[in-house]
A and B are shown apart, each in its own frame.
Chain A
Amino acid sequence: MKPEIIIDHLSKNFGKREALRNVSLHIQPGMFGLLGRNGAGKTTLMRVLATLLHKSGGSVTVCGIPIEQSKEVRKLIGYLPQDFSIYPGMTVYAAMNYLGILSELPKAARKERITALLKRVNLEDCLNLKVKALSGGMKRRLGIAQAILHDPQILIVDEPTAGLDPEERIRFRDLLCEIAENRIVILSTHIVEDIEKTCQNIAVLDKGQIIYQGALQHFIGNERGLEEAYMKQMGGHQR
């Protein structure tokens, strides 16, 4: 099954308000950046892809499976929500184990993958630490580990670096790039630098509509960087 997402004329309304309007995207393996100011509709799009919101119109297929087949789609998707948190009184291992059970992973696979993933995100020494004792960065890394616990073909991360210090942000971006080697990683953020450093392909969302999609380099064109290109595209509006 080829990892790809095809979004065709997707729309999502909240009452009379259009949160997404005629969004069409074709996302292929690698890091894909979704850029837009706060309120542009990024989280809505992420939540539709994660089967947490039903669409109002259009179609979405994930690896050839229509999004309406939510159970099948959930097998393929790992999701790190914007405000990731887990029961604070649980230990790191217990939290991962619980989410592993909910992903229907067998016991042996759970044990093996939890150990390997916590090592990969540098939390191998925190197995018995309670979640509430983790720092913001550690919690975000735990979030990534839980999102890829069931080895999904697609990883959706929503504003993952907000609130992290610069060092932790760089480490987090490197981790995402590593993960994206053999799957789709959709990075939704309003932080231009995160996209510039990690993504080959991007889409820019504004007021629920796609105003650009394609290669990052093409978007930058002759400008000095993504930030400048983005500001120009948005008409100099404040992000």
Chain B
Amino acid sequence: MKLFLTECRQTSKSMIYFVFIGVMLLFYFTQLSDFAGTDIAEVQNPSGYNSQNPLMKPPPDADNYGSVEAEIPEQVMPAALNQLLSEYANNEYTTYPVGFYKNVKLSQKQQEKVAAIVKDITGQRPEDLMNKQDKLPILITYESFKVKMAELDTMLGGGSNYEESRLQEYGNTPVTYEEKLAEYHNFIQVDQVTGAYARYFCDYMGIVISLFSVFVPVAFLIRDRKAGVKELLYSRKYSSAGFILARYFALVTMLLLPVLLLSLLPLTQLALYGSKHHITVDLWAFAKYILAWLLPTLMTTTAVAFVLTTLTDTPIAIAVQLFWSYTDILSGSSYIYGGHYGTQLAIRHNTLGNLQAMLDGLPALILNRSLYVLFSLLLVGVTIVLYELKRRGKLDVYGYFHQILRNRKSPIKADTMG
């Protein structure tokens, strides 16, 4: 415990930690701004009903309650076809085969097959349809259309914009008063106001943690080599497991702390709003979502930093994590409103609504988060083994490559015997 607290103190004194907090605050105030405060202000001084503001109770006579995705063949077929014509023209097909973004380029022969599919659907070649995008002729039934789209999706390697489960994204239907009222009741009773805001908050903070948190542990660990204290630390009595676990959990705690503190801002605003309007507010919602949604992401990025920095004594973990996070965020861009979780590292829910989508996908969400926690603990276990091997002088990847470089530069000077 003493070591844990000391490592927490060490982290709090590092420059890179404050840079991380600065980036987080910048992201919060530029992207989320005063998201709860704005909604509260609008409820208190309404200029009409806004279906985007969950705090507003829908009136029975509003003009618009918003819209939701729906699999309406008349909308889906022309919209999907338009998307296909655009991708065909550029020969760039966006896919997410295993949850990660992939840009597929087809051969000329495969492009001909796509053109044949378009001709089967419309009776014309894609080139002849380029100027008729408002009035595309569709000659087949929706069932046949779905078969053609499945054929196309298979040719693209799966996970394309034409996958059967994604076709509904091309259509939408207006929300009725009854549906909006039910959503409002869910917001008040199930989410208890703060739940919806906590999900939205975690959506943005998940991106910050996924992309930027890795810098702090890498800088923290690499300073052992830079300060030349590795041998001094290795020769002490403590156990490798105790040392790595204390450092790991200290960094995770210190990185989570500013997120928890920042969440107090919208929480306080919403709690005051709830108390003024006699609405029950879940005071723990932000903490619950931060721990359940963000902690596994943070544990994973920190564990990646630990295992790769301990192995190589280089900042390679930053490159690895940035690549992973970038592709993860790109792959998640199709599901930013929640409900699809798969292998996503940063959980997306870029809306104050859509609670039902989260509830429907809850088993997948729980599985996703649990697997990331287990994965991070596995990486920490590997780190402990690597650290123990280094302590005993059985592993020195950095020294090995450093020696090779030295030997290349100056074969005479190379000598490790001391």
A interface residues, Cβ below 8 angstroms from B: 14, 17, 19, 38-44, 46-47, 50-54, 70-71, 74-75, 77, 79, 81-89, 97-99, 101-104, 107, 146, 150, 158, 208
Total interface residues on B, CB under 8 Å, equals 26
- With A53-B393, A87-B223 known as contacts, the answer to whether A101 contacts B237 (CB < 8 A) is no
The CA-CA distance from A170 to B235 in the complex, in Å, is 27
Identify which of residues 213-246 in chain B touch chain A, using a CB-to-CB cut-off of 8 Å.
223, 227-229, 231-239, 243
Shortest Cβ-Cβ A-B pairs, 4 listed: A43-B418, A53-B393, A102-B236, A85-B228
The answer on a CB contact under 8 Å between A74 and B415 is no
The answer on a CB contact under 8 Å between B237 and A103 is yes
The answer on a CB contact under 8 Å between A74 and B227 is no
Instruction: Write out the residue numbers on chain A whose beta carbons fall within 8 Å of the beta carbon of B391.
Output: 51-52, 70
Instruction: Write out the residue numbers on chain B whose beta carbons fall within 8 Å of the beta carbon of A74.
Output: 235-237
Instruction: Write out the residue numbers on chain A whose beta carbons fall within 8 Å of the beta carbon of B243.
Output: 102
Identify which of residues 1-30 in chain B touch chain A, using a CB-to-CB cut-off of 8 Å.
2-3, 6, 13
Known: A52-B391, A89-B13, A208-B417. 16 other contacts (CB 8 A): A17-B417, A39-B417, A44-B418, A47-B418, A50-B235, A53-B392, A54-B392, A74-B237, A75-B237, A79-B235, A86-B232, A87-B227, A99-B236, A102-B3, A103-B236, A107-B2
- Secondary structure dominating the interface of B: loop
The CA-CA distance from A42 to B418 in the complex, in Å, is 6
Q: How far is the CB of A109 from chain B (nearest CB, A)?
A: 12
Q: Which residue of B lies closest to A188 (CB)?
A: B418
Tell me, yes or no, whether B277 is within 8 Å of chain A by CB: no
Q: How far is the CB of B68 from chain A (nearest CB, A)?
A: 55
Instruction: Write out the residue numbers on chain A whose beta carbons fall within 8 Å of the beta carbon of B223.
Output: 87
The CA-CA distance from A79 to B236 in the complex, in Å, is 9
The answer on a CB contact under 8 Å between B417 and A14 is yes
Tell me, yes or no, whether B416 is within 8 Å of chain A by CB: yes
Q: How far is the CB of A78 from chain B (nearest CB, A)?
A: 8
Can you give 26 contacting A-B residue pairs, CB < 8 Å? A17-B417, A19-B416, A39-B415, A44-B417, A44-B418, A47-B418, A51-B391, A52-B234, A52-B235, A53-B392, A54-B394, A70-B391, A71-B239, A81-B231, A83-B228, A85-B227, A85-B228, A86-B227, A87-B227, A87-B229, A97-B6, A98-B6, A101-B6, A102-B3, A102-B236, A104-B237
The answer on a CB contact under 8 Å between B417 and A19 is yes
Q: How far is the CB of A117 from chain B (nearest CB, A)?
A: 16
Q: Which residue of B lies closest to A47 (CB)?
A: B393
The answer on a CB contact under 8 Å between A82 and B13 is no
Contact partner, B229, options A47, A85, A107, A158, Cβ 8 Å: A85
The answer on a CB contact under 8 Å between B229 and A101 is no
The answer on a CB contact under 8 Å between A102 and B238 is yes
The answer on a CB contact under 8 Å between A82 and B418 is yes
